[in-house]
Amino acid sequence: MIFLLKKRNEVEISMSFIEWFLSNWYANCFTIITVVLSGLISLIISAVYYRKGNRNNLRMAVIHPIIRLLQDAYSRKNYDKLNEIAKDYSTRYLTKTEEQKLNSLLMAYKEVSTYNDISVNADILFSYFEYTLKKNQINPKPVPIEYEGEVVYGSYPPDLFYLSQDLEKVLRRYDPNFEPDECKDAIISLYEHYCKEYYTSDRIKYFDDYTLREGLKKSGKLVVLLLICYLVLEFTVMYPVVTTIVDWFISLSDKFNVVLTTISGLFTSLFTVEYQYTVSLIGAYLKSSFADNVNQIAIILQTTFGLASMIAPSSAILMMGLSLCDIKFKDWLKYIWKFVLIMLVVLVLIMLFI
């Protein structure tokens, strides 16, 4: 009996609530709508301020420290600091595009930070030692490397690689600009020691064609060219000008377009020293935009990079080769442009019929 009475009271309360709600229909609906809207507005405002706070943290913990590092001299120590910054918790708030830019910056900074005058000059002097051996009819790679009982190529004697380290020690001890004679004598002494140890005891003349200073000066031009090429690469990776232009090119067509992709690949490759940076800048973008044409994109990017390497002033190998052969870039461009143009036309025709 008590249970039935409770049930009756609940039904009466429910009916009275419904009657009350219906009798004040507009006012109650307005109240519900305002409550829902105020909740949504509060949620949006909270989300905006949450994102703004995260972006501010990102600027303070990641972006501004990176900018300060880039204003300092490039060094391996600063590269390690850059890696630590990139591991900061705030980097989780980077967009995918920003993450790609940060990774590209790390790669470019690593290339630049490893540049060192002494180690570069030591490599140049090692190459000169190899050149002098060849000039005197001595094979600098006399150690045979066999594969399945067949000699596939020759290699340096195992301990010859210590020569580069010893040359670095000499260059640190004697500055070629201020102590050229002492530096030259120490280097020749090293050459004679390694030559007698691994090649021949016959006396060989060194620096008879170039003095030490002339050799470093001639090679120094190549070093400067190489540094300029990598600086162009660094600015290309750091600032999204190239990717913005490529995005505009690709957006001219609603679907995959061989001609536009070829132009984009060639344009990007004009500013990248190595193929990996071309892929890093636009490869992922093209792959995500045209997933059904991945094979064509790979062929186009590889081919356009190779062709760009024949004409781009940012191509380190091209500029070093022209410098060594004493060929003006303008003369080379007049000679090669027809071949590059024909190869581009052939590439586009092949891609159109695949």
**Model pTM score:** 0.45
* Residue 155 pLDDT: 84
Tell me how crowded residue 143 is: count the other CB atoms within 10 A of its CB: 13
> DSSP class of residue 152?
E
Which residues are CB-contacts of 154 (< 8 A; sequence separation ≥ 6)? 139, 141, 142, 143, 144, 145
| CA 298 to chain CA centroid, nearest Å | 18
* Residue 3 pLDDT: 47
Record the tokens describing residue 296, joined without a space. Answer: 């064509």
Tell me how crowded residue 161 is: count the other CB atoms within 10 A of its CB: 10
DSSP letters along 144-173, please?
EEEETTEEEEEE--GGGGHHHHHHHHHHHH
Which residues are CB-contacts of 136 (< 8 A; sequence separation ≥ 6)? 202, 204
Torsion of CA 223, 228, 232, 235, to 10 degrees: 100
Residues in the chain: 354
Intervals of the chain under pLDDT 50: 3-5, 11
CA distance 20 to 25: 8
Which residues are CB-contacts of 32 (< 8 A; sequence separation ≥ 6)? none
pLDDT for 220-242, tens place per residue? 666 677 777 777 777 777 777 88
Record the tokens describing residue 318, joined without a space. Answer: 């091209």
pLDDT for 298-327, tens place per residue? 888 888 888 888 888 878 778 777 876 778
Query: Which residue, among 263, 311, 306, has the nearest Cα to 286 in the 3D structure?
Result: 263
CA distance 8 to 29: 28
* Residue 294 pLDDT: 85
Which residues are CB-contacts of 81 (< 8 A; sequence separation ≥ 6)? 65, 69
**Amino acid occupying residue 187:** I
CA distance 282 to 268: 8
